[in-house]
A and B are shown apart, each in its own frame.
Chain A
Amino acid sequence: MRVMSFIGVLGLKGAIGLKTKNKELSPVHELLEKKYNGGFLNRREKIIPIILFFMAAVSVLTTLGIVLTLIFETFTFFGDVSIVEFFTATEWYPFSKTEAVYGIWPLVLGTLKITLIASLFAVPLGLAVALYLSEYAGARTRKIMKPILEVLAGVPTIVYGFFALTFVTPFLRGLFPSIELFNAISPGIVVGIMIIPTIVSLSEDALSSVPEPVRHGALAIGSTKWETASKVIFPAALSGILASIVLGISRAIGETMIVSIAAGSTPSAALNLTSSLQTMTSYIVQVTTGDAGFGTTIYYSIYAVGFTLFVFTLAMNVLAQFISKRFREEY
């Protein structure tokens, strides 16, 4: 007790040395008391949350803006073109001066062709890479692959489009001369390359979030790594993996530049993959790079096409959210 109060005295001495004679009269105390008396809060505390709320509202307004814009202009479009024709005609031929036909099917088919090829390419490859990274690869391989996938994810789509047109297409045509300059296969594959990082990173997250004891349990009864991965880990991570695939497909549907550059601009209802086609996205690009004037039917048609595209991708995103939410409580 003695020693302690001695330290205390020293401490106080230090304080006295700083011309602070006692606690009640210190400048800090005085200033604080003044503050208590003069009102403690300023207006900032009330205004800032309101400002921040309006900032957060911008996202909602953006969604609202997109939906309203698309609906409004699509309505205008259906003033000129029958909605029945839009959904049932099998020809998309807007640039005819005399007999323009607006049947969305060829554009949807074009999008589906690209998406199908992209998925066939990216899903097996992406899952193989994800399984390798999460179940087999050592820390070093992962350290090398992470940045590679990040770079692949960061490459602008215009660059992929250039790659499709100037490398993949000539390469494929060297193998199969029947492939035309603009076709579905080359942009399809390159869209696949573009979505690989999405599939790999989300699937790998799902695989590696399976708890380690589950893995050890399977290995401890003598399972090989492949048996553990295919029979235990993969099923446990299935929802995350499916969600990653659906999100990848959604990105493929909305991809614009690769198809605009390498797939051509011929709306086609034919099922072949080796000739020129047009997707919903590349039609929008074709119209907006051309000089279809404001107010023409062609101008409004991009909103009808954009709306269809929006519905497709929204459905995919909602599906992905549903899958991952639905099965989240597994472990």
Chain B
Amino acid sequence: MENVERIKSEEMINRIDSRLTKNKVVKGLFFTATLFTSIILIVLLYRIIVQGAPYLSWDFLQNFASRRPEQAGIKAAVVGTIWMMAVVVPTAAIFGVGSAIYLEEYAGKNALTRWIQMNISNLAGVPSVVFGLLGLTIFVRLFGFGNSILAAGFTMSLLVLPVIIVASQEAIRAVPNELKEASYGLGATKWQTISRVVIPYAVPGIATGSILAFSRAIGETAPLIVVGIPTFVAFLPSGVFDSFTALPMQIYNWTSRPQEEFHNLAAAGIIVLLVVLIMMNSVAVWIRNRYQSR
């Protein structure tokens, strides 16, 4: 009996080595995969910087699009993107936060609420090109906005709306119940409690989520193509009903030309786009870290 036991435990001990080796190999593989993923990002950024950096100049930011690469710039695209975001930010923020407040604070736990909630999560999964089709049909044609800043801005607002709603809902849900109780206990009405206690507390979370959503809107191309935003624009818009072009449209235009010079311009445009996005993301991360401890 004792012998058998000893042999059995010896076998187990002998097997430990091979099991540990296997563990090490797998760990190595997984680590390589992780490293590889990081390298992809580094290569991507490196390639774009090397290709585009020489084309970055004051002139590049100051010039309109041109058939001659050396004279081409992104002025119209940058200004157009700013105009579009001037429509997207208030529209999406107001409707997004409003929807979130309704769903978290006012809506009953009933079938209608669940249905709205399901709608929102499904909308988040609809491809952006389909939002483009919606914008083309409703805003461009039905409402007659044409390929204007307003049409593109509304389309983008609808695209990012689900993201903002979900982020705001989470932020509102994270408001401690004790604070709401304190407010109600002093005789505050529901809206007073929401506007003076809940929203101020949820603002950092709402801001973080919204900034990330807006940075998505800045980089989206497909819906702009579908609503018919032109790429070659040599003037600046003066109102929301004007036609315009946007940064990703300009990059797309240059990328789809065969000449190498235009590709370099596209890379330079991408650098500008990425700098803007990284700045926005840093602000979002800063807000998140600053208020996380609370």
Contact = CB atoms under 8 A, between A and B. Distances in A.
A152 B132 contact: no
Nearest to A144: B38
A310 interface: yes
A250 B136 contact: no
Interface string A217-250: 0000010111100000000000000000001001
Nearest to A283: B129
B106 A49 contact: yes
Contacts of B47: 163, 166-167
Nearest to A288: B226
Given A59-B123, A225-B23, A159 B129 contact: no
Contacts of B252: 158, 161, 257, 261
A73 interface: yes
B150 to A, nearest CB: 16
Contacts of A158: 219, 221, 248, 251-252, 255, 270
Chain B interface SS verdict (over half): helix
Nearest to B138: A65
Chain B interface size band reads 35 or more
Contact of A145 (B26, B34, B103): B34
B292 to A, nearest CB: 13
A157 B270 CA distance: 11
A284 B132 contact: yes
A45 interface: yes
A128 B102 contact: no
In this complex, the member of A41, A45, A256 whose beta carbon has the largest number of chain B beta carbons within 10 angstroms is: A256
B41 interface: yes
Interface in B14-58: 16, 19-20, 22-23, 26-27, 29-31, 33-34, 36-38, 40-41, 43-44, 47-48, 51
B95 interface: yes
A18 interface: no
B152 interface: no
In this complex, the member of B33, B116, B277 whose beta carbon has the largest number of chain A beta carbons within 10 angstroms is: B33
Nearest to B271: A159
A309 B215 contact: no
B185 interface: no
Interface string A103-146: 00000000000000000000011001101110011000100110
Contact of B270 (A152, A159, A257, A318): A159
Given A56-B103, A154-B281, A310-B127, 5 more contacts: A62-B161, A63-B119, A66-B131, A147-B285, A163-B48
30 contacts: A45-B189, A48-B191, A59-B162, A59-B165, A62-B134, A62-B158, A65-B137, A65-B138, A66-B126, A128-B30, A128-B33, A129-B30, A129-B33, A129-B34, A132-B30, A136-B31, A156-B219, A156-B220, A158-B270, A162-B270, A166-B255, A167-B43, A193-B40, A196-B37, A224-B19, A257-B221, A285-B129, A294-B141, A302-B226, A309-B129
Interface of A: 41, 44-45, 48-49, 51-53, 55-60, 62-63, 65-66, 69-70, 73, 124-125, 128-129, 131-133, 136-137, 141, 144-145, 147-152, 154-159, 161-163, 165-167, 193, 196, 200, 222, 224-227, 247, 250, 253-257, 260-261, 281, 284-285, 288-289, 294, 302-303, 306, 309-310, 313-314, 316-318, 321
